């Protein structure tokens, strides 16, 4: 929460909240204590924020869809009386989660269908998603993986982890492993080290990534011991999940700065949420504040079609409007990619405003962020044609996995005239 002078504040003093009045500062700053003492029921929650009897009933009913678990740290940031508080909307269930729409899907991204072994989703050619726990520091109410998040509130069993590691070992095309869950940083250091060490020793794994909400909801987890552990497995990239400027506090800023000082490249993935951050002003404030603490805005996700999330979903047009108000109006480093993770396992599709207005044989008319139209001259016929870049043939032979024979690449090289799906319907017809 940046004040007008750029400083941060911390929400309420936890000792002023009856639930934690006898808690010591040492306990409060212990991530194990924070995790053990998450708010999981209505009775505890009512000691932190104001709830009507109707809200209490709706919360209890919603817990049948996705459990509630809010770290004391994050709960203390909630406005106790403002029901539109973005911290509260992220953390506290409402009756709207019980409303199902025809377009809602249990597993909208088809992660389960693209899972060759439990815990692994292998959709893209050279990278996989590896779920090592279903526990989170806090269960966000907009969670796309709500069908399984918090199901056991525990790390994955060792046999599941080992099967996932063995799958990676037997898949030489995999060069990039993303650890997720749940939240990988909620597991113990020993368990995390086991997973990282096994993956790191696989020759074809070039990089590891961690998707974690810990800097947002459990910043106490970023300890010297954790930093030392993670530092042994470079290159390791960490993406976190700030949705609103009010989630940026002294504690979360310090956690991110510790990670950055430790040599980790930090990115942020926000979800576009109606009534939370679907505003060009709010999103601009967020991305600028993120850069100030060395976190690169990476993605803005369109809210997925998971069951019970219709009240959070905005139009894609709203996302495009936000992007129009970022590009050119703030640093390019602060401009994330707006993504629709398409239903049915189609994968991530970037959505941008249309800056190409028109084309002819030699000219492209472009529109800039101000609405100015500019002509760009393309090469003439005598300059066109594919020429192999020096050193490319050697790389093609040495690293055949770099050659993309799908999509438009063979067409652009002139190697093929048409690229068609193998099961193209019109080819199946009898002539």
The answer to whether residue 38 is catalytic is no
How far is it, in rounded angstroms, from Cα 417 to Cα 404?
15
Strand partners, 212: none
Told to judge if 123 belongs to the known catalytic residues of this protein, a careful annotator would answer yes
136 catalytically annotated: yes
Instruction: Please pick, among 67, 88, 140, 167, the residue that the annotation labels catalytic.
Output: 140
Between CA 140 and CA 144 the distance in angstroms is 9
Catalytic residue (choose from 145, 221, 284, 285): 145
Residues for the chain: how many in total?
A: 431
Three-state SS across the chain? CECCCCCECCCCCHHHCHHHCCCCHHHHCCHHHHHHCCECCHHHHCCCCCCCHHHHHHHHHHCCCCCCCECHHHHCCCCCCCCCCHHHHHHCCCHHHHCCCCCCECCCCCCCCCCCCCCEECCCCCEEEEECECCCCCCCCCCCCCCCCCCCCCECCHHHHHHHHHHHHCCCCCCEEEEECCCHHHCCHHHHHHHHHHHHCCCCCCEEEEECCHHHHCHHHCCHHHHHHHCCCCCEEEEECCCCHHHCCHHHHHHHHHHHHCCCEEEEEEEECCCCCCCHHHHHHHHHHHHHCCCEEEEEEECCCECCCCCCCCCHHHHHHHHHCCECCECHHHCCEEEEEEHHHCEEEECCCCCEEEECCCEEEEECCCCCEEEEECCCHHHCCCCCCCCHHHHHHHCHHHCCCCCCHHHHHCCCCCCCCCCCHHHHCCC
The catalytically annotated residue of 136, 141, 167, 307 is 136
- Among candidate residues 114, 124, 176, 191, the one labeled active-site is 124
Give yes or no: 145 in active site. Answer: yes
CB 213 within 8 A of CB 138: yes
Distances in Å between the Cα of 223 and the Cα atoms of 40, 227, 259, 326 are 25, 6, 10, 34
140 catalytic residue (yes or no): yes
Catalytic residue among 143, 221, 246, 313: 143
Note if 127 is an active site residue.
yes
Catalytic residues: 123-124, 127, 136, 140, 143, 145, 304, 341, 348
């Amino acid at each position: 929460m940046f004040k007008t002078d750029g400083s941060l504040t911390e929400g309420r003093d936890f000792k002023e909240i009856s639930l934690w009045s006898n808690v010591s500062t040492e306990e409060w700053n212990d991530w194990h204590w924070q995790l053990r003492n998450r708010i999981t029921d209505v009775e505890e929650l009512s000691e932190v924020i104001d709830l009507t009897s109707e809200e209490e009933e709706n919360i209890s009913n919603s817990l049948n869809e996705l459990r509630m678990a809010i770290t004391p740290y994050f709960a203390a940031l909630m406005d106790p009386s403002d029901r539109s508080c973005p911290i509260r909307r992220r953390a506290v269930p409402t009756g709207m989660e019980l409303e199902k729409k025809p377009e809602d899907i249990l597993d909208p991204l088809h992660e389960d269908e693209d899972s060759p072994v439990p815990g692994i989703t292998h959709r893209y050619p050279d990278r996989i998603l590896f779920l090592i726990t279903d526990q989170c520091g806090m269960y966000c109410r907009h969670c796309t993986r709500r069908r399984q998040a918090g199901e056991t509130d525990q790390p994955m069993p060792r046999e599941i982890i080992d099967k996932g590691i063995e799958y990676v070992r037997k898949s030489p095309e995999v060069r990039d492993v993303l650890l997720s869950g749940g939240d990988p940083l909620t597991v113990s250091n020993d368990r995390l080290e086991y997973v990282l060490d096994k993956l790191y020793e696989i020759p074809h794994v070039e990089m590891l990534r961690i998707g974690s909400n810990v800097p947002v909801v459990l910043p106490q987890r970023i300890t010297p011991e954790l930093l030392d552990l993670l530092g042994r497995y470079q290159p390791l990239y960490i993406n976190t999940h700030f949705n609103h400027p009010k989630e940026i506090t002294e504690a979360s800023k310090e956690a991110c700065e510790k990670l950055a000082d430790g040599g980790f490249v930090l990115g942020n993935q926000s979800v576009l949420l109606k009534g939370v951050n679907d505003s060009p002003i709010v999103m601009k404030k967020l991305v600028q504040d993120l850069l100030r603490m060395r976190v690169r805005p990476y993605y803005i996700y369109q809210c997925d079609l998971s069951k019970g999330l219709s009240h959070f979903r905005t139009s894609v047009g709203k996302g495009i409007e936000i992007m129009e108000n970022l590009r050119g109006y703030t640093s390019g480093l602060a401009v994330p990619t707006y993504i629709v993770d398409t239903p049915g396992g189609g994968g991530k599709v970037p959505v941008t405003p249309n800056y190409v207005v028109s084309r002819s044989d030699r000219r492209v008319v472009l529109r800039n962020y101000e609405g100015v139209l500019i002509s760009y001259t393309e090469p003439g016929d005598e300059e066109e044609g594919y020429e192999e870049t020096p050193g490319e043939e050697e790389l093609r032979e040495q690293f055949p996995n770099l050659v993309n024979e799908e999509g438009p690449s063979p067409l652009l090289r002139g190697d093929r005239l048409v690229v068609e799906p193998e099961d193209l319907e019109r080819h199946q017809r009898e002539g």
